[in-house]
Amino acid sequence: MRLTELDVPIDARLDGDGTVRITGIAYDSRQVKPGDLFVCLVGGYADGHAFAERAMAAGAVALLVERPMTAQVTQIVVSDTRAALAVVAASFYGQPADEMTVIGITGTDGKTTTSYILDHILRSVGLVTGVIGTVSVRIADKVVDHETRQTTPESSDVQRLLRRMVDAGVSHAILEATSHGLSLHRLDHVGFDVGAVTNVTSEHLEHHVTVEAYRAAKASLFRRVGLSGGVAVVNLDDAGARAMLDWTGDATVTTYSVLEESATIRASNVRALPTSTRLTVHLAIDAWDVDMPLIGLFNVSNALCSIGIAIHCGVDPGKAVSALARTPQIPGRMEVVDPSRPLKTVVDYAHTPASLEAMMRLLRGLNPDGRLIAVFGSAGERDVPKRAEQGAAAARLADLAVFTNEDPREEDELAILADIADGARSVGWVEGERFWVIPDRRLAIRHAVSLANDGDVLLLAGKGHERSIIFGQRKTAWNEAEVAAEELARRFGVAP
């Protein structure tokens, strides 16, 4: 379309020829194609304005900028290119969210699991779905694993993917709505029909600075759903999630709980088994029993959340509950490595103090007679205060631990690990007796395996499904489950 046909922010100023025809949108100069509008985003590592000439050399025919460039090219000047990108992209791709039921799932932990369960339920009744989340992007039956490390991509990517979903016949789109995605305009101009929250504790304070700002970012999803008269699905068992009720406005509210009988959807008779969880799901006067292949009370909550959303998508409640019995394995979530080994090894994405603590409590309860050995780290340039909390949690709930690299990025890896170790020391642990600091993640896993006895449980936390470790600006290939399997073979011999 022509540049003048695009929606732009109110404060936008056009410098140059507005009749120039735009055939695409790019914010990375390495991805520019002839005919693109190049958007100069200002980020933490780079300023897109510095790459404008490179983008023009690659064929960009117009620029979206915050400050006018000297280049002889048509420019749209705005106060905030990131916010403007959301407006422009939604216009360019024809407002695709308006043609589907769009579901946003937010929360500190549980977004991915809930989206997987929900997607399974919707597909089980024949609905055509799409998912944008941490592990992958799926459009109908086509799955695309991605390594961007952005659970919620930039707004132009979101709009492009939503348009592809519409073209593929998708009727229901599920988006993991992160605090970054909500606060950095990545989800602007996406009309959410349903907003759901799993829990809200504390994360990404390196970006939000305060817990209050973090919670406000999460709450903005419910403010938008409330203003449009959509549906809000809220966990009554979590104080942070309950606080979202204050933002729901004119939304139809569904609550879920394991503890509160006043909830719209609740669970009772929860019984944890080694490889599954049995429970009864209640809705009004109806009740259904189900045995789902997920363990942990947090997964009961995730399942209830998924059922609540599915019902608002028109799924029969009984069918939604029965689908839980066939829930697939979720990549990097409670993934057991080589069950034939005498050392039970579990890979999980748990990377916040709350999720790490929940995982350790779960594994401790399932294996009360064996020791629990934990291997984990903490991401660089992220949430410095949580590091000591992670170390303290390990000292309270594990028997032994090895602290190692997760994604140090540009930060000193030893300084990160020292912060975690300080938390462990605060609970009385001594380095070399109860915990070890080994930056190399493979060597850390190898050491943990060497410490283990038959009947112990080894938890490898923090990486989960991810396929790289970030050092500086470089990504090094990594597969936690594969490395664990190799180290188990090294210790115990070739697997039968």
The more confident residue out of 135 and 315 is 315
Number of CB atoms found within 10 A of residue 350's CB: 28
The per-residue pLDDT for 197 is 95
The more confident residue out of 77 and 149 is 77
The per-residue pLDDT for 318 is 97
The more confident residue out of 148 and 438 is 438
Supply 232's token pair: 């809000």
Q: Average model confidence (pLDDT) for the chain?
A: 91
Model confidence pLDDT, tens digit, residues 80-134: 999 999 999 999 999 999 999 999 999 888 889 999 999 999 999 999 999 998 8
The per-residue pLDDT for 496 is 45
Average pLDDT for residues 334-346, to the nearest whole number?
A: 86
Reply yes or no on whether the pLDDT at 204 is more than 70: no
Reported confidence tier of residue 208, pLDDT bands at 50, 70, 90: very low
Average pLDDT for residues 41-60, to the nearest whole number?
A: 91
The per-residue pLDDT for 45 is 74
Please name which of 377, 380, 405, 399 lies closest in space to residue 461, comparing C-alpha atoms. Answer: 377
Average pLDDT for residues 461-478, to the nearest whole number?
A: 90
Average pLDDT for residues 171-179, to the nearest whole number?
A: 93
Average pLDDT for residues 145-154, to the nearest whole number?
A: 67
Reported confidence tier of residue 202, pLDDT bands at 50, 70, 90: low
Q: Which of 180-189, 255-264, 411-420, 447-456 has the lowest mean pLDDT?
A: 180-189
Reply yes or no on whether the pLDDT at 205 is more than 50: no
Average pLDDT for residues 190-201, to the nearest whole number?
A: 93
3-state secondary structure the chain: CEHHHCCCCCCCEEECCCCCECCEEECCHHHCCCCEEEECCECCCCEHHHHHHHHHHCCCCEEEECCCCCCCCEEEECCCHHHHHHHHHHHHCCCHHHHCEEEEEECCCCHHHHHHHHHHHHHHCCCCEEEECCCEEEECCEEEECCCCCCCCCHHHHHHHHHHHHHCCCCEEEEECCHHHHHCCCCCCCCCCEEEECCCCCCCHHHHCCHHHHHHHHHHHHHHHHHCCCEEEEECCCHHHHHHHHHCCCCEEEEEECCCCCCCEEEEEEEECCCCEEEEEEECCEEEEEEECCCCHHHHHHHHHHHHHHHHCCCCHHHHHHHHHHCCCCCCCCEEECCCCCCEEEEECCCCHHHHHHHHHHHHHHCCCCCEEEEECCCCCCCHHHHHHHHHHHHHHCCEEEECCCCCECCCHHHHHHHHHHHHHHCCCCECCCEEECCCHHHHHHHHHHHCCCCCEEEEECCCCCCEEEECCEEEECCHHHHHHHHHHHHHCCCC
Q: Which CATH number fits domain 96-326: 3.30.200.20, 3.10.20.30, 3.40.1190.10, 3.30.1490.190?
A: 3.40.1190.10
The per-residue pLDDT for 145 is 61
Domain span(s) for CATH 3.90.190.20 in the chain: 335-491
**CATH superfamily of domain region 335-491:** Mur ligase, C-terminal domain (3.90.190.20)
Domain span(s) for CATH 3.40.1190.10 in the chain: 96-326
The per-residue pLDDT for 179 is 79
Average pLDDT for residues 307-326, to the nearest whole number?
A: 97
Reply yes or no on whether the pLDDT at 329 is more than 90: no
The fold of the 3-92 domain, in CATH, is: 3.40.1390
Reported confidence tier of residue 365, pLDDT bands at 50, 70, 90: confident
Reply yes or no on whether the pLDDT at 354 is more than 50: yes
Model confidence pLDDT, tens digit, residues 368-415: 889 999 999 998 988 888 899 999 999 999 999 999 999 999 999 999
Model confidence pLDDT, tens digit, residues 177-188: 887 788 788 999
The more confident residue out of 274 and 282 is 282
Model confidence pLDDT, tens digit, residues 209-242: 476 777 888 888 999 999 989 999 999 999 999 9
Highest mean pLDDT among 4-13, 31-40, 209-218: 31-40
